[in-house]
Amino acid sequence: MAIGTSTDLGSGPAAGPGLVPAAGPARQPRLRLPRSPKVLIGLAGMIGFLTLAVIGPWIAPYDPDRSFSTTASFPQPPSAAHLLGTTQQQQDVLSQLLAGGRSTVLVAFVAGLVATLLSVLIGVTAGYTGGAADDLLSMLANLFLIMPALPLLIVIFGFLPPSQGGDDLLIGLIIAVTGWAFGARVLRAQTLSLRSRDYVESARITGERGWRIITHEILPNLIPVLASSFLFTVLYGVGTYTALAFLGLVNPNHWSWGGMLFYAQVAGAEQSGYWWLFLPPGLAVALLGTALALLNFGIDEFINPRLRAAGLSRRRARLAGAGGTAARPPRRFVLGVTPVVRGREPR
């Protein structure tokens, strides 16, 4: 929380608002996502995890709570019967992994949705209205932004009776309350810049109502930023929920990846080399996060085309050179040394 944040940054994927594409008045910017590999992988990953969330518990080979032996006291390494081994309580790890996906994904998306709604409400209102309301709402957003979210959530969940610690919806809501502030700031900045555009000014002068202007002129142009903000918040939700579960603040009877890591910690997995206890859930969280981040990158590059991997892609360079004896255009452009690429007849 500091001075001069005209280009916002987070420790998350570059959440720079950059430039809103100069779409005109009330024209839906065409949602042409660039077909870069990043976006495709991210999209595929996200769809994969969403599917897992839905069908996970059904395709699990065993009941995740079921204990397979009362005699063995150590976690068993992967075997034919248990593809990912067993926990200390002799429960099947794979089943837990598949079942745990649902609550993680659910909580994260609920958090993302609610937080995005809140951020739109507060951010756009602040940016459009201006004046005292803007000052107040901005102050509120900055407050939430600066207060460290996880410690606050730990205190909240610490005081929460265990019975309610298992309600995914409630958890998602509480997480959302701590996560809306960043999106609100970004949206406010964009709304401010859009508000001064000519077509919005003219709409105001001709007497269009405020809320109509917001929904018809401003919101459509905010869609890319909204999408990026949503993904970022979902990413935040995944991380935060996993952390809370890892600390044992979430009802342990409710399977989640963070919970699996909690039990891994209890079993001393890292000290004893029981890698199958922490690697699968941790990797799952990391991969889900990576998919979201890649998708977010793709949207960021769409918003700010300068961020695309520079130079020419190999394919385009090949095409360029295909027209005869032309020298290949350089893959890397060095600032201040314009390349000289001969092979073209002067017209």
Partner 1 sequence: MTAGQAPAAPARATAWRPLLEVRGLCVDYGAGPDAVHAVAGADLTLHAGEVLGLAGESGSGKSTLAYAITRLLRAPGMITGGSVDYHPEPGRTVDLLAAGESGLRVLRWSQISVVMQSAMNALNPVLSIGSQLTDVLRAHQPALGKAGAQDRAAGLLAMVGISADRLGSHPHQLSGGMRQRVMIAMALALEPQIVIMDEPTTALDVVTQRDILEELMELRARLGFAVLFITHDLSLLIEIADSIAVMYAGRLVERADATALFRAPRHPYTLGLLRSFPALHGPRQHLTGIPGSPPDLRGLPAGCVFHPRCRYALDRCRTDAPALLPLAEDGGRLAACWLQHGAAAAPAELAVPAPGADLAAAPTVRTQP
Partner 2 sequence: MRVISRRIGFYLITAIAAITVDFLIPRVMPGNPVEAVLAKMQGQVVTKATLHALELQFGSSTSEGLWGQYVHYWSNLLHGNLGISTSNGLVPVTTVIRGALPWTIGLVGTATVISFILGTLLGVLVAWRRGGWLDTLLPATTFFQAAPYFFLAFLAIDLFSIRLGWFPPGSARNNLDFPAFDWAYAGDVLDHAVLPALTIVVASAAGWIVGMRNVMITTMDEDYVLIAQAKGLPKQRVVWYAARNAILPSISGFSLAIGFVVSGALLTEIVFSYPGLGFIMLTAVQDADYALLQGIFLVITMAVLVANLAADFVYVFLDPRIRQEA
* Positions in the binding site for partner 1 (CB under 8 A): 310-312, 316-317, 319-320, 322-323, 329-330, 333-347
Q: Which is nearer to partner 2, 214 or 256 (CB)?
A: 256
Q: What is the C-alpha separation between 297 and 191, in angstroms, rounded?
A: 22
Residue 268 tokens, joined: 């001393």
- Assess contact for 294 and 45: CB atoms under 8 A: yes
When CB distances are held under 5 to 8 angstroms depending on the partner's kind, the choice from partner 2, partner 1, none that residue 248 binds is partner 2
Q: Which is nearer to partner 2, 63 or 135 (CB)?
A: 135
* Amino acid, single-letter form, for residue 291: A
The interface with partner 2 within residues 87-106 (CB under 8 A) comprises none
When CB distances are held under 5 to 8 angstroms depending on the partner's kind, the choice from partner 2, partner 1, none that residue 339 binds is partner 1
CB of 125 to partner 2, least distance (A): 21
Q: What is the C-alpha separation between 315 and 109, in angstroms, rounded?
A: 37
Q: Which is nearer to partner 1, 3 or 335 (CB)?
A: 335
Asked if 152 touches partner 2 (CB under 8 A), the answer is: yes
Q: What is the C-alpha separation between 46 and 97, in angstroms, rounded?
A: 17
When CB distances are held under 5 to 8 angstroms depending on the partner's kind, the choice from partner 2, partner 1, none that residue 273 binds is partner 2
Task: Could you list the beta-strand ranges (E) of 22-133.
Answer: none
When CB distances are held under 5 to 8 angstroms depending on the partner's kind, the choice from partner 1, partner 2, none that residue 22 binds is none
Classify 92 as helix, strand or coil.
strand
- 175 phi/psi in degrees, rounded to 5: -65, -40
Q: Which is nearer to partner 2, 203 or 249 (CB)?
A: 249
CB of 207 to partner 2, least distance (A): 37
Asked if 269 touches partner 2 (CB under 8 A), the answer is: yes
Q: Which is nearer to partner 2, 3 or 205 (CB)?
A: 3
Q: Which residues touch 255 (CB under 8 Å, ≥6 apart)? A: 64, 96, 99, 100, 103
Asked if 336 touches partner 2 (CB under 8 A), the answer is: yes
Nearest to 116 by CA among 184, 188, 215: 184
Residue that is written with structure tokens 């909690």 in the block: 262
